């Protein structure tokens, strides 16, 4: 469903020139769960940003469902963010002034589609937070905040979820709960690309991509993870 | 749930910040409303004063040597010659004056509008001193000379009575009850005027008919004063029309005082409006500033909104919506505070002037305030829309 071809990203010029991505090619198939690993500065976050159209490529192509999106303008990218690709961040990035429910509602409001509060509540229930719907982020634990953030991505039913160190700010137990949630979503047929530096977390994925100095040095498929039990439950 | 509802909720939770942003608009609007209210009170006061300056028009015989520049104030020192205005011209003059005022003010009701005070000047000798006797219509004269105060005795209320100017009474040792000879007949002093500082102080006033009869000048008058009783009255048009339609008279609009006073008001108003304009500009930049810092503060939030599907237009909409809310707050608060300010300092600016709140300035305040707030929001909103998701998170 998504393909990155010969992607390079260079920041700065002259002495300050940094090659964040160096001719990287990666394919994300429907239903895959890829963990992108690598030391900090290896370009993993840059790769994620480029996949999602948050950052521009210096050269190369990003193809989503057969369309090149690397040259898309802001308006076209907005359309992609409203239905196909959604993000989960390490810092959750919830609006601190809004309640959990309002945070989940936000993508619906911007997209202006027919869904309403009930749909948002259903999704909060899905991540086990229906009782916290009217709490603000500061009243929620890190794990709960990340669940709200995940609910916020789910509300537009994206086919691809991009997660940048989603468990980075959590203890192991909470982190594992979030990972279980990701696995469930993957089993429903959503593709997931998750950036992490921890092998323990990466091993939950179906495929591990290792980045070093902006290049893919290793790609491993973990076939011990069973084939999706069910596809598209929602 | 609509975008605006969420923005409104978000603003409610950031009350303090929003109010801080509104402050600039409030101060600007407050100044405008305050100045407008004080200016209107001042104008009303000056109009009221203007009314006390007496007639708007003086009508005199066409052929005589009166010094026009002095207007009616110098009449007392001049001896009127053989030329008079026939008294039967009075209704015609009144008709012209009233119809012009009706036209100008778009009023339709019948009845007299202008005050028309005829006068007949004559000379008489009292205790060997020569002085001017003025025959007047007591009621009309009183309206024209609203500053007259009777010091001793009473105002004219019957025939064969006289009202004596303060200095004349002093010089001639006249008192209430004394008799003043008028040719063959005489009149009794019924009252003595307080000093006015005008030529009135040297004159004796008696009912017109009495003076006409005593000097055999029945059916004629020397001059007449017209007071239009309104500030927007077309005195020059009335004068032109009288000059064109009534032969043998000359109508002069007494505008010098009015013009200089109004000129002063206008100058003061333009100065105040310039001040209000500057305050609004300062307020505007204040709001731009607060909004810009709000954009910086909310860079992350804007990035989040962009990441979850907000378009650039929607980000601009959010900021403009906030500006409208700030404008409404600023308009309401600015109107109330501006009116309060006018009540506070109005009496200091125009000594002892009563200030009244002007409801018509409320929509003015709202429009000014919303315009300023929205104008101030344009640049910050565009800046906010330019924020890129990746950058916004990098800075956090």
**A218 has which bridge partners?**
A210
Query: Do A102 and B309 count as a contact with CB atoms less than 8 A apart?
Result: no
Q: Of B138, B100, B134, B103, nearest to B119 (Cα)?
A: B134
Rounded distance, CA A217 to CA A213, Å?
A: 9
pLDDT for the residue numbered A225: 45
Rounded distance, CA B20 to CA A141, Å?
A: 32
Q: Of B102, B101, B81, nearest to B223 (Cα)?
A: B81
B147/A42: higher pLDDT: A42
pLDDT band at A226 (very low <50, low <70, confident <90, very high): very low
Q: How far is B105 from chain A (nearest CA, A)?
A: 56
- Best of B6, B16, B308, B386 to mutate (most A CBs within 10 Å, chain A): B308
| Packing angle of the helix pair A74-81, B312-349 (nearest 10 deg) | 110
Of B3, B307, B312, the CB nearest to A81: B307
**pLDDT tens, residue by residue, B325-343:** 999 999 999 999 999 998 8
The DSSP bridge pattern shows strands A33-37 and A191-195 to be: parallel
The tens-digit pLDDT sequence of chain B (396 residues) is 578 888 888 888 888 888 888 888 999 899 889 888 888 887 777 776 666 665 678 888 876 555 545 555 555 545 444 578 888 888 888 888 888 888 877 777 777 778 888 999 988 888 788 889 999 999 888 888 877 888 888 998 888 889 999 998 888 888 898 888 888 888 899 999 998 877 888 999 999 999 999 888 888 998 888 887 665 667 778 888 888 888 888 888 776 555 666 677 778 878 888 888 898 898 899 889 988 988 888 888 899 999 898 999 999 999 999 999 999 999 999 999 999 998 888 888 777 667 788 898 999 999 999 999 999 999 999 999 998 887 777 644
Give yes or no for a contact between B290 and B38, defined as CB atoms under 8 angstroms apart.
no
pLDDT for the residue numbered A52: 84
CB-hemisphere CA count at 13 Å for A55?
25
Query: Do A54 and B300 count as a contact with CB atoms less than 8 A apart?
Result: no
Inter-CA distances, B153 with B175, B189, B313, Å: 9, 9, 82
Rounded distance, CA A195 to CA B340, Å?
A: 61
DSSP E strands in A33-159: the ranges are 33-37, 59-64, 67-68, 85-88
**pLDDT tens, residue by residue, A115-124:** 778 888 999 9
Contacts of B308 in chain A (CB under 8 A): 81, 86-87, 106-107, 110, 152
| The CATH fold of domain A31-58+67-221 | Rossmann fold (3.40.50)
Rounded distance, CA B36 to CA B114, Å?
A: 31
Minimal-distance CA residue of chain B relative to A45: B390
The DSSP bridge pattern shows strands B115-126 and B223-227 to be: antiparallel
pLDDT band at A234 (very low <50, low <70, confident <90, very high): very low
- Best of A9, A40, A54 to mutate (most B CBs within 10 Å, chain B): A54
Minimal-distance CA residue of chain B relative to A86: B308
Percent of chain A with pLDDT over 90: 38
Query: Do A110 and B389 count as a contact with CB atoms less than 8 A apart?
Result: no
Tell me how many residue pairs between chain A and chain B have CB atoms under 8 A apart. 73
Rounded distance, CA A74 to CA B309, Å?
A: 11
Q: How far is A161 from chain B (nearest CA, A)?
A: 12
pLDDT for the residue numbered B390: 75
What are the backbone angles phi and psi of residue B193, rounded to the nearest 5°?
A: -75, 150
**pLDDT tens, residue by residue, B206-247:** 999 999 998 888 889 988 888 876 656 677 788 888 888 888
Query: Do B308 and A106 count as a contact with CB atoms less than 8 A apart?
Result: yes
pTM assigned to the model: 0.69
Query: Do B10 and A97 count as a contact with CB atoms less than 8 A apart?
Result: yes
Q: Where along chain A do its domains lie? A: 31-58+67-221
pLDDT for the residue numbered A227: 45
Minimal-distance CA residue of chain B relative to A107: B308
């Amino acid at each position: 469903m998504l393909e990155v071809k010969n992607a390079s990203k260079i920041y700065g010029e002259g002495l300050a020139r940094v090659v964040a991505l160096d001719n990287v090619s990666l394919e994300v198939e429907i239903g895959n769960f890829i963990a992108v690993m690598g030391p900090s500065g290896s370009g993993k976050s840059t790769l994620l940003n480029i996949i999602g159209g948050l950052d521009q490529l210096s050269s190369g192509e990003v193809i989503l469902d057969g369309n090149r999106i690397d040259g898309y303008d802001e308006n076209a990218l907005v359309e992609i963010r409203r239905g196909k690709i959604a993000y989960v961040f390490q810092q959750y990035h919830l609006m601190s002034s809004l309640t959990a429910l309002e945070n989940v509602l936000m993508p619906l409001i911007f997209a202006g589609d027919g869904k309403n509060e009930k749909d948002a509540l259903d999704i909060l229930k899905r991540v086990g937070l229906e009782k916290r719907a009217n709490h603000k982020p500061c009243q929620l634990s890190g794990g709960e905040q990340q669940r709200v953030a995940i609910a916020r991505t789910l509300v537009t039913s994206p086919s691809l979820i991009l997660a940048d160190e989603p468990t980075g700010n959590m203890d192991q137990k909470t982190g594992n709960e979030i990972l279980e949630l990701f696995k469930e979503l993957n089993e429903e047929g959503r593709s997931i690309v998750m950036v992490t530096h921890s092998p323990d977390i990466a091993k939950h994925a179906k495929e591990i991509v290792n980045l070093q100095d902006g290049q893919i040095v290793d790609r491993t498929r973990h076939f011990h993870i069973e084939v999706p039990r069910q596809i598209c439950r929602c | 749930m609509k975008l605006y509802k969420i923005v409104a909720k978000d603003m409610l939770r950031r009350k303090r910040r929003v109010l801080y942003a509104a402050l600039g608009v409030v101060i600007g609007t407050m100044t405008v409303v305050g100045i407008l209210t004080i200016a209107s009170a001042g104008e009303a006061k000056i109009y009221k004063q203007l009314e006390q300056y007496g007639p708007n028009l003086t009508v005199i015989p066409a052929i005589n040597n009166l010094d026009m520049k002095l207007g009616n104030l110098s009449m007392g020192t001049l001896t009127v010659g053989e030329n008079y205005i026939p008294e039967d011209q009075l209704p015609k003059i009144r008709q012209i004056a009233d119809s012009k005022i009706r036209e100008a003010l778009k009023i339709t009701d019948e009845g007299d509008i202008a005050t028309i005070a005829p006068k007949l000047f004559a000379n008489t000798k009292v205790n060997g001193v020569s002085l001017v006797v003025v025959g007047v219509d007591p009621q009309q004269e009183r309206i024209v000379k609203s500053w007259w105060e009777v010091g001793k005795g009473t105002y004219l209320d019957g025939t064969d009575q006289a009202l004596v100017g303060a200095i004349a009474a002093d010089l001639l040792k006249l008192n209430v009850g004394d008799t003043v000879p008028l040719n063959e007949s005489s009149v009794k002093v019924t009252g003595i005027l307080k000093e006015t500082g005008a030529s009135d102080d040297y004159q004796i006033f008696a009912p017109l008919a009495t003076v006409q009869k005593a000097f055999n000048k029945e059916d004629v008058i020397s001059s007449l004063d017209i007071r239009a009783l309104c500030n927007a009255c077309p005195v020059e048009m009335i004068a032109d029309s009288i000059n064109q339609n009534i032969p043998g008279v000359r109508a002069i609009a007494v505008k010098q005082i009015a013009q200089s006073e109004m000129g002063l008001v206008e100058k003061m108003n333009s100065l105040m409006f310039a001040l209000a304009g500057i305050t609004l500009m300062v307020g505007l930049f204040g709001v731009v500033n607060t909004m810009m810092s709000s954009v910086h503060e909310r860079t992350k939030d804007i990035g989040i909104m962009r990441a979850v599907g907000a378009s650039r237009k929607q980000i601009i909409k959010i900021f403009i919506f906030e500006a409208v809310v700030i404008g409404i707050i600023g308009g309401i608060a600015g109107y109330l505070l501006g009116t309060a300010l006018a009540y506070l300092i109005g009496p200091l600016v125009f000594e002892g002037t009563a200030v009244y709140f002007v409801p018509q300035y409320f929509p003015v305040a709202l429009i000014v305030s919303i315009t300023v707030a929205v104008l101030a929001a344009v640049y910050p909103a565009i800046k906010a829309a330019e924020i890129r998701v990746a950058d916004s998170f990098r800075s956090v």
